[in-house]
Amino acid sequence: MNVGHCMTKNPVTVLPDVTVPEAQAMMRREKIHRLPVVDKAKRLVGIVTASDLRRASSPAATSLDMYELHYLISKMSVEQVMTKRPVTVDEALPVEEAARIMDDNRIAGLPVLRGDVLVGIITESDLFRLFIELFGARHPGVRLTALLPERPGELASVAGAIAAAGGNILSLATFEGEDPTNHYCTIKVEGLARDKLVATVTPLVEKVVDALEK
* pLDDT for the residue numbered 65: 56
Average pLDDT, the chain: 92
Q: Using pLDDT thresholds of 50, 70 and 90, give the confidence band for residue 62.
A: low
* pLDDT for the residue numbered 190: 96
How many CB atoms sit inside 10 A of residue 30's CB? Answer: 11
Choosing among 3.40.50.11540, 2.102.10.10, 3.30.70.260, 3.40.720.10, the CATH entry for 135-213 is 3.30.70.260
Mean pLDDT within 203-209: 96
Mean pLDDT within 146-172: 96
Is the confidence at residue 64, as pLDDT, over 60?
no
Write down the architecture of domain 3-130 according to CATH. Answer: Roll (3.10)
Q: With the CA atoms of 94, 98, 99 and 100 taken in that order, what torsion angle do they form, in degrees rounded to the nearest 10?
A: 100
Least confident of 64-73, 132-141, 151-160, 192-201: 64-73
Q: What is the pLDDT of residues 10-22, one digit of tens each?
A: 999 999 999 999 9
pTM across the whole model? 0.77
Reduced 3-state DSSP string for the chain: CEHHHHCEECCCCECCCCEHHHHHHHHHHHCCCEEEEECCCCEEEEEEEHHHHHHHHCCCCCCCCHHHHHHHHHHCEHHHHCEECCCCEECCCEHHHHHHHHHHHCCCEEEEEECCEEEEEEEHHHHHHHHHHHCCCCCCCEEEEEEEECCCCHHHHHHHHHHHCCCEEEEEEEEECCCCCEEEEEEEEECCCHHHHHHHHHHHCCEEEEEEEC
* pLDDT for the residue numbered 66: 63
- Domain ranges for the chain: 3-130, 135-213
Mean pLDDT within 102-106: 96
* pLDDT for the residue numbered 214: 83
The CA distance from 158 to 73, in Å, is 62
Is the confidence at residue 55, as pLDDT, over 90?
no
- Do 3-130 and 135-213 have matching folds? no
Q: Using pLDDT thresholds of 50, 70 and 90, give the confidence band for residue 116.
A: confident
